[in-house]
């Protein structure tokens, strides 16, 4: 058997048949060869020669990634902290280097797997001929001789090239120093301290969770949930549940409830008392995952019956069932904005079947995408705090990293040697922490790494069996791990410091991420009772977390002199908001200098367009109370101006947030076929008849029916009653009834799965919560099309009345309004 020896390494002819590629790299033997010194630099030439293999197959196990590969290089035995460059694992830019020495590319030295120490060397003029490449099989002695000779030439060129590059390197000592500092930093970072090991479980510990305020944590095992105080680790009374493992735990965003996934049911526990509040039934197998939506209104649960159930967290009613998986669903999570649900699925007993990760629209239940990149069952998913990245774990021992909303992974982390079971992001989003373990002994580890670069920061390996679940405290300082070794471990992450910074800095960053900056809100118009209600809610010292750090600080009290109710209210409301600490200013420009966001509350919709333009020019997000404008044309113009200045606007009635209306909108009765809503409909001569107060009932109607109305007919119009009927696509019917006088709000809806009451009024708080969320995210929860269509419905109803009750199309009134809007903007926005 012929062989070559390069830098003390021997390469045989047999090895060259199975390998493919020649690649000089820099390598430190502290991780690769423990018999060498802890750190040294040496040029290593890895041979990679293609024999008769297809390009689609992996033909080597490269020791380090090549420059130009995607960020995490990862293949074969050496899987720690790098991305796989190609589907076949070949490290050379998605192509094999040498095809019988007939095809050549470039040799690229790599420093520490990322930084090039010299520019690539063009090998395209190497002295071999490609014309007879298929005439010399490896079994031919002449072929072997030719190739061995060619290899010697290539190795010689590579060695000479590397020597030249070493000479050209101007600051080699500095490079070595930088690498040593990096390695020293990783060694320091890996010193994660075990704070406590909590035993006493009779069976596997399968789940762990931390409360939103960080004051308590809980762990689930067979038929029981145990809780502790985080600071003292003093045990709280255990909670007994029905037989079966508690596979997952989740606290509600307000910390009042703890959801637990058991066998065929989900348990909801009141945290203050530790008592079982309700049991959600409907799934036929083990409940494997539980997750609250960010606003706490929904609870999603996954099960090995291949379904995901979405529940109303307030009363435990079922909203919808998400079906589409082909395997048991192992986990479920909400995106940080609450708009998407992601579920991970797979069958660990069927190793040839790929994992499934499905993204669903949280509002409609529509399946948005399916990812099948994991070679084996997918086990969990997690989002970064900003929602831009998502990671998924799997029995294939990897953690995939996705840019949120993309169908292809950025890469994968392969530092684990066992199936990955769980993953999470640190509160500041700088790290990913993932756990692993399987049936085989050893490597029941937790690893900490960077999501963008795949750099491994620490390995925690103190569990004697599979790491089943992990959780992190809100400040990012403590990690909790649950294991099949029947223990829960508590870890101090202060040594990590984000991989580069001190623990104090990391803590400050986590605290800043947890506590958003205070938003200064300004009010335009003090002629509606809403300004008092909103100011009291926002300026309350005991405001809940979702409303904290947003205060009304100033107001411009402008009213409308031709509306009697407006002029009467302003003086009294000025006095009341002053008592709440609100400064009164004498102009909109003066207001804009003092605030970050605007509440446009003028009761009169006519001046809204003119009032909103200065705020949009100043870049201030604006919530516009009902009605958004005094005409459809002005409503369209407002959205056009917002698009022009790239500043978000949002408008809604508080009636949209009625619990029963929201439940039907979310699909509790299936597809809505018919809906009727009723509300007061007092008139104001300065506004079209429905714009002034009928807007509330119309908003309820559209909350249930959503956008898509095609024609509108005024069925009845008397001194006491207004009846308007809309026809939606598919023949669905929506009817609004306005009463004079009248104070109540009501309605009913008929759906494909049953009937339900709608149109309830449940206070201002839900609307204010959504307003604050809008101010922080810049995204309205209501599609622009739906808001505009509400006003088009009312405009069409007015036109139908003028035409004696004839049907009027939504498109006809919109076309007219768009022309008028363009003209209005040209006049006002100069």
**Reported confidence tier of residue 152, pLDDT bands at 50, 70, 90:** low
pLDDT at 166: 53
Helix (H) or strand (E) holding 194: strand 193-198
| Inter-residue contact 2 to 13 (CB < 8 Å) | yes
Confidence of residue 74 (pLDDT cuts 50, 70, 90): very low
Confidence of residue 227 (pLDDT cuts 50, 70, 90): very high
Query: Which pLDDT belongs to residue 432?
Result: 96
pLDDT score at 70: 37
- Using only C-alpha atoms, the chain has a radius of gyration, in whole angstroms, of 32
Q: In this structure, are residues 770 and 652 in contact, taking their beta carbons and an 8 Å threshold? A: yes
Interatomic CA distance for residues 23 and 65, integer angstroms: 10
Closest to 787 (Cα-Cα) out of 774, 801, 804: 774
DSSP 392: E
- Over residues 393-415, the mean pLDDT reads 88
Instruction: Please tell me the predicted confidence (pLDDT) of residue 452.
Output: 82
**What is the sign, positive or negative, of the torsion defined by CA atoms of 61, 62, 65, 69?**
negative
Digit-coded pLDDT (tens) for 23-55: 333 333 333 333 333 333 333 333 333 333 333
The answer for residues whose C-beta is within 8 angstroms of residue 51's C-beta and 6 or more apart is: 17, 18, 20, 138
Question: Is the pLDDT confidence value at 469 over 90?
Answer: yes
Q: Give the residue with greater pLDDT, 484 vs 137.
A: 484
DSSP letters, 215-250, are SEEEEEEEEEEEEEETTT-PEEEEEEEEEEE--EEE
Q: What does the alpha-carbon distance between residue 361 and residue 4 come to, in Å, rounded to a whole number?
A: 59
For residue 743, name the pLDDT band (cuts at 50, 70, 90). Answer: confident
Least confident of 56-60, 155-159, 333-337, 547-551: 56-60
- Rounded distance between C-alpha atoms, residue 40 and residue 176, angstroms: 9
Average confidence (pLDDT) over 683-710: 92
Nearest to 225 by CA among 195, 257, 254: 257
For residues 235-264, give the mean pLDDT: 94
Residue 66 or residue 352, greater confidence: 352
Q: What is the dihedral of CA 797, 679, 682, 787, to 10 degrees?
A: -50
What's the rounded mean pLDDT across residues 788-804? 96
Please compute the mean of the pLDDT values over residues 720-739 and round it to a whole number: 96
Dihedral sign (CA 519, 524, 527, 530): negative
Among residues 756, 555, 132, 825, the alpha carbon closest in space to that of 746 is found at: 756
Q: Is the distance from CB of 378 to CB of 419 less than 8 angstroms?
A: no
Confidence at residue 370, expressed as pLDDT on a 0 to 100 scale: 94
d(CA 270, CA 658) in angstroms, rounded, equals 24
C-alpha angle 416-417-420 in degrees, rounded to nearest 5: 55
Q: Say how many C-beta atoms besides its own lie within 10 A of residue 830's C-beta.
A: 5
Listed range (107-116, 477-486, 603-612, 682-691) with the worst mean pLDDT: 107-116
pLDDT at 133: 35
Q: With contact defined as beta carbons under 8 Å apart, do 598 and 524 qualify?
A: yes
Residue 706 — pLDDT band, cuts 50, 70, 90?
Answer: very high
**Cα distance between residue 229 and residue 220, in whole Å:** 15
Range scoring the smallest mean pLDDT among 198-207, 457-466, 635-644: 457-466
Euclidean distance between CA atoms 786 and 803, whole angstroms: 25
Structure tokens given for 555: 């107001």
Q: Pick 555 or 122 by higher pLDDT.
A: 555
> pLDDT exceeding 90 applies to what percent of the chain?
61
Instruction: Provide the 3-class DSSP secondary structure of residue 591.
Output: helix
Mean pLDDT of 139-162: 53
Average pLDDT over residues 654-670: 91
The CA distance from 21 to 640, in Å, is 58
What pLDDT does 236 receive? 94
695 class by beta-carbon count within 10 Å (0-12 exposed, 13-18 middle, 19+ buried)? buried
pLDDT at 22 over 50: no
Residues in a beta bridge with 334: 341
Lowest-pLDDT choice from 125-139, 261-275, 322-336: 125-139
pLDDT, position 188 = 43
- How far, in Å, are 33, 113, 119, 123 from residue 116 at the CA level? 22, 8, 7, 17
The residues, ordered by sequence, that sit 6+ positions from 232 with a Cβ below 8 Å of its Cβ are none
Record the pTM: 0.47
Q: What is the pLDDT of residue 349?
A: 87
Computed over every residue of the chain, the mean pLDDT equals 80
SS (H, E, C) 459-528: EECCCCCCEEEEEECCCCCEEEEEECCCCEEEEECCCCHHHCCCHHHHHHHHHHHHCCCCEEEEEECCCC
pLDDT score of 577: 96
Q: What is the mean pLDDT of the segment spanning 96-116? A: 34
Both tokens assigned to 146: 């030719």
pLDDT value at residue 179: 42
**pLDDT tens digits for range 611-635:** 999 999 999 999 999 999 999 999 9
Would the pLDDT of 129 be above 80?
A: no
Average pLDDT, stretch 439-460? 87
Q: Where does the pLDDT of residue 596 fall: very low under 50, low under 70, confident under 90, or very high at 90 and above?
A: very high
Domains of the chain: 3-189 (no CATH), 206-323 (2.130.10.10), 519-651 (3.40.50.720), 655-828 (3.30.360.10)
Cross-strand pairs, 554: 522, 583
pLDDT digits (tens, 9 = 90+) for 508-565: 444 444 455 789 999 999 999 999 999 999 999 888 888 888 999 999 998 888 888 8
Task: Answer yes or no: is pLDDT of 147 > 60.
Answer: no
Phi, psi at residue 180, to the nearest 5°?
-60, -40
Give the torsion sign (CA, 519, 520, 525, 527): positive
Query: Over 90: is that where the pLDDT of 132 sits?
Result: no
* Mean predicted confidence (pLDDT) in 207-232: 96
First-to-last alpha carbon distance for the chain, in angstroms, is: 85
pLDDT of residue 543: 86
Average pLDDT in the 739-762 region?
92
| Tens digits of residue pLDDT in 170-198 | 445 544 444 444 444 444 445 688 999 99
The band of 791, judged by pLDDT with boundaries at 50, 70 and 90, is very high
Q: What is the pLDDT of residue 692?
A: 86
- Position 544 scores a pLDDT of 84
């Amino acid at each position: 058997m012929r062989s070559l020896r390069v830098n003390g390494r021997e390469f045989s002819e047999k090895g060259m048949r199975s390998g493919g590629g020649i690649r000089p790299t820099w390598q430190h033997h502290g991780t690769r060869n423990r018999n060498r010194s802890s750190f040294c630099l040496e040029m290593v030439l890895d041979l990679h020669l293609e024999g008769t293999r297809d390009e689609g197959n992996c033909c080597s196990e490269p020791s380090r990634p090549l420059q130009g590969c995607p960020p995490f290089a990862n293949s074969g035995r050496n899987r720690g902290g790098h991305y796989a460059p190609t589907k076949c694992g070949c490290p050379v830019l998605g192509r094999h280097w040498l095809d019988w020495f007939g095809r050549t590319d470039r040799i690229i030295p790599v420093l520490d797997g990322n930084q090039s120490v010299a520019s690539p060397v063009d090998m395209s003029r190497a002295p071999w001929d490609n014309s007879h490449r298929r005439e010399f099989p490896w079994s031919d002695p002449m072929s072997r001789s030719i190739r061995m000779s060619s290899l010697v030439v290539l190795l010689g060129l590579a060695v000479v090239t590397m020597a030249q590059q070493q000479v050209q390197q101007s600051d080699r000592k500095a490079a070595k120093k930088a690498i040593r500092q990096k390695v020293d930093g990783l060694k320091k970072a890996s010193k994660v301290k075990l704070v406590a090991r909590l035993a006493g479980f009779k069976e596997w510990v399968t789940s762990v969770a931390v409360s939103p305020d960080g004051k308590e944590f809980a762990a689930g095992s067979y038929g029981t949930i145990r809780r502790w105080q985080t600071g003292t680790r003093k045990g709280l009374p255990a909670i007994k549940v029905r037989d079966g493992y508690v596979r997952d735990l989740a606290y509600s965003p307000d910390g009042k409830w703890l959801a637990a996934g058991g066998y065929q049911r989900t348990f909801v526990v009141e945290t203050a008392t530790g008592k079982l509040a309700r049991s959600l039934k409907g799934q036929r197998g083990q409940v494997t995952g539980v997750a609250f939506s960010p606003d706490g209104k929904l609870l999603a649960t996954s099960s090995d019956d291949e379904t995901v159930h979405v529940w109303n967290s307030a009363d435990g009613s079922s909203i919808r069932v998400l079906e589409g998986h082909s395997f048991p669903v192992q986990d479920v999570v909400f995106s940080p904005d609450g708009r998407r649900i992601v579920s991970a699925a797979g069958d660990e007993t069927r190793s040839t079947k790929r994992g499934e990760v499905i993204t669903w629209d949280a509002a409609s239940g529509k399946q948005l995408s399916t990812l099948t990149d994991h070679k084996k069952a997918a086990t969990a998913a997690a989002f970064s705090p900003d929602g831009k990245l998502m990671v998924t774990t799997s029995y294939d021992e990897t953690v995939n990293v996705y840019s949120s909303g993309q169908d292809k992974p950025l890469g994968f982390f392969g530092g684990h040697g066992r199936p990955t079971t769980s993953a999470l992001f640190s509160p500041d989003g700088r790290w990913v922490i993932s756990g692993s373990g399987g049936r085989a002994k050893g490597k029941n580890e937790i690893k900490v790494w960077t999501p963008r670069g795949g750099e491994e920061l620490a390995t925690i390996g103190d569990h004697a069996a599979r790491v089943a679940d992990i959780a992190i405290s809100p400040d990012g300082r403590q990690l909790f791990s649950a294991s099949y070794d029947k223990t829960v471990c508590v870890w101090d992450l202060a040594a990590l410091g984000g991989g580069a910074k001190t623990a104090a800095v990391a803590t400050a960053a986590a605290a800043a991420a947890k506590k958003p900056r205070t938003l200064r809100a300004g009010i335009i118009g003090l002629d509606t009772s809403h300004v008092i209600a909103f100011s009291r809610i926002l300026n309350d010292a005991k405001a809940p977390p979702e409303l904290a750090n947003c205060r009304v600080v100033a107001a411009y009290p402008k009213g409308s002199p031709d509306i009697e109710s407006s002029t009467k209210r302003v003086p009294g409301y000025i006095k009341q908001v002053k008592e709440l600490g609100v400064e009164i200013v004498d102009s909109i420009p003066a207001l804009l200098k003092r605030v970050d966001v605007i509440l446009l509350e003028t009761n009169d919709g006519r001046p809204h367009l003119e009032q909103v333009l200065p705020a949009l020019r100043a870049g201030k997000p604006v919530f516009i109370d009902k009605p958004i404008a005094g005409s459809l044309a002005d409503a369209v113009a407002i959205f056009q101006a917002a698009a022009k200045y790239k500043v978000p606007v949002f408008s809604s009635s508080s009636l949209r947030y009625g619990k029963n209306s929201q439940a039907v909108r979310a699909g509790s009765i299936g597809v809505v076929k018919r809906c009727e809503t009723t509300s007061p409909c007092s008139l104001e001569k300065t506004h079209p008849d429905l714009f002034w107060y009928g807007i509330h009932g119309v908003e309820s109607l559209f909350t249930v029916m959503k956008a898509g109305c095609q024609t509108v007919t005024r069925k009845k119009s008397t001194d006491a009653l207004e009846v308007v009927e809309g026809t939606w696509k598919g023949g669905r019917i929506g009817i609004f009834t306005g009463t004079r006088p009248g104070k109540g709000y009501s309605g009913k809806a008929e759906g494909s799965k049953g009937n339900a009451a709608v149109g309830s009024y449940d206070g201002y708080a839900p609307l204010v919560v959504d307003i604050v969320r809008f101010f922080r995210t810049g995204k309205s929860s209501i599609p622009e099309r739906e808001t505009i269509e509400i006003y088009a419905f009312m405009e069409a109803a007015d036109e139908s009345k003028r035409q004696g009750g004839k049907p009027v199309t939504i498109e006809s009134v919109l076309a007219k309004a768009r022309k008028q809007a363009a003209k209005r903007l040209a006049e006002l926005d100069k």
